Amino acid sequence: MEVSFAHAGIATTDAGALSAEYAAVFDCPIVHEEHTDGMYFLFLEIGGGYLEVIEPTEEGPITEYLDEEGSGLHHFALATDDIPAALDRAREHGVELIDERPRPGAWGHDVAFLHPASTGGVLFEFVESA
């Protein structure tokens, strides 16, 4: 099981405006856009990875995050070819899991999250291409 950087998730109240600003400032293209699970996602390709800009379109975890923390870095995503093995490894090292098994995520990928209380306050997401 290999793990590599996939994307940084950034929560905001206006994904379109923030993505346009990032595209201009960092000279990186918006390469994917979708609405799913009460969220609007825009992905910008940058340096072999992505910036995932997330705007809530209904009440949910991102709305709660924005209410508590405001706009900013929400999570780091790590690509793996085997989420169940990655979750097992995390569990073996005492990491609390948010997701016990993979679930559908943006861009047709399976995802699973690790609880930030076990990872130094950082929300990590495993991502596996479908």
Convert the pLDDT of each residue in 98-118 to its tens digit: 999 999 999 899 999 999 999
Q: Where are the alpha helices (DSSP H) in the chain?
A: 15-26, 61-69, 83-92
% of the chain residues with pLDDT over 90: 93
Contact 87, 100 (CB under 8 A): yes
What is the H or E stretch that residue 43 is in?
A: strand 39-46
Measured CA to CA, the distance from residue 107 to residue 91 in angstroms comes to 26
Please identify, in words, the CATH class of the domain defined by 3-128: alpha beta
Convert the pLDDT of each residue in 57-83 to its tens digit: 999 999 999 999 999 999 999 999 999
Predicted structure pTM score: 0.92
Contact 127, 109 (CB under 8 A): yes
Q: Where are the domains of the chain?
A: 3-128
Asked if the model's pLDDT at residue 129 lies above 80, the reply is no
